[in-house]
Amino acid sequence: MLRVALTHDVDRVRKSHQYITRIGRSLVKLNLKGVVEQLLDLTINDQYWGFDEIIKIESDFGVKSTCFFLNESIGLNLLKPSSWKLALGRYKITEKRIVNIIKWLDANGWEIGVHGSYFSYNSSKLLVNEKKTLEEIVGHEIIGIRQHYINMNDSTWKLQFNAGFKYDSTWGLGDEIGYRGNRIKPFTPLNNSYYVIPFAVMDSCFASTLNKWEKLQMIIDQTIEKDSILVINWHTNNYSELDFPEYKNNYIKIIERCVSMGAVFYTLKDYYKEITKDEQ
């Protein structure tokens, strides 16, 4: 049986400095059409919001997903260019619109998780605070996390467990699709009820993969063979057709393929409950 979990990292909800960087790239390439398209894009709201598309797509298929929300605390330092990408264009988890969408998703069957901020992989304080803040919004326990930029070290899983998380879904590849280290099934690095649930397909990696559909099928076959779950990671800002052409269509086609194979869809929370039901 094919099991599937659709997930979304909520890195950004609005377009900001990308106007400048994308116009700059177009100018370097003497691509006037690209410049005009970005200028026209300034007149359109919510290019990076993504939630409306996600809700419609998943509702059409009768499935729900897990959304990992970021609470980034890195400040902008103009003298440190390395901080620009990390700090610019982020959102505040306590913004009214963000709080409203979190509450709506949670109330309607989507799962809410923590997208650990850039340095949280090595900070108990950040992990505890980010979990607590999100729990105060939804009014109940948050059990899942995925680290921003797939950051982790030898201490991350223990820190997450001590902060109260029950599963992590950071284990995956950032440069290609497939299973990192050939670890296909969820595993328990601490030899307790804390699970790592690997992800296998991320949007940007899928877009750049040659023979992507053949490789996806190989991954699906591996997942079925190992009686595991196929975890898909599609960022919420990547539904902008101008900046991320075909990403939305790829997401729909992946779901269609899984549905055609009789897949059962889970939120990661529901899947965690299933694999630990004999331990509870």
Cα gap 22→233, rounded to integer Å: 24
Is position 35 within any domain?
A: no
pLDDT in tens, 74-88: 877 766 766 667 767
Is position 23 within any domain?
A: no
Radius of gyration of the chain (CA): 19
- Is the sign of the CA dihedral 12, 16, 18, 21 positive or negative? negative
Is position 236 within any domain?
A: yes
Cα gap 111→229, rounded to integer Å: 17
**How sure is the predictor about 52, in pLDDT bands with cuts at 50, 70 and 90?**
very high
**Residues 167-186, mean pLDDT to the nearest whole number:** 98
Is position 125 within any domain?
A: yes
Place of tokens 């290609």: 176
Distances (CA, A) of 223 to 20, 41, 130, 196, 199: 41, 40, 32, 15, 11
> Total structural domains in the chain?
1
Is position 40 within any domain?
A: no
> What CATH code is carried by the domain that includes residue 155?
3.20.20.370
Q: What is the pLDDT of residue 34?
A: 47
CB distance 113 to 149 below 8 Å: no
**Residues 195-214, mean pLDDT to the nearest whole number:** 98
DSSP string, 44-109: -S-TTT-HHHHHHHHHHHT---EEEEE---PPP-TT-HHHHHHHTT---TTSHHHHHHHHHHHHTT
Domain hosting residue 208, numbered range: 3-14+49-275
Strands 201-202 and 229-233, how do they pair?
parallel
SS (H, E, C) 151-172: CCCCCHHHHHHHHCCCEECCCC
pLDDT in tens, 80-110: 766 667 767 789 999 999 999 999 999 999 9
Cα gap 275→124, rounded to integer Å: 27
Say if residue 44's pLDDT is above 70: no
Cα gap 268→85, rounded to integer Å: 29
H or E segment to which residue 30 belongs: none
**Residues 250-264, mean pLDDT to the nearest whole number:** 98
Is position 182 within any domain?
A: yes
**Residues 223-231, mean pLDDT to the nearest whole number:** 99
| Mean model confidence pLDDT for the chain | 90
Is position 248 within any domain?
A: yes
Which candidate, 138, 10, 120, places its Cα nearest to that of 73?
120
What's the whole-model pTM score?
0.90
Cα gap 191→194, rounded to integer Å: 8
Is position 186 within any domain?
A: yes
| Angle at alpha carbon of residue 161, lines to 203 and 183, rounded to 5° | 45
Cα gap 208→191, rounded to integer Å: 36
CB distance 163 to 194 below 8 Å: no
Cα gap 174→40, rounded to integer Å: 32
**Residues 140-160, mean pLDDT to the nearest whole number:** 98
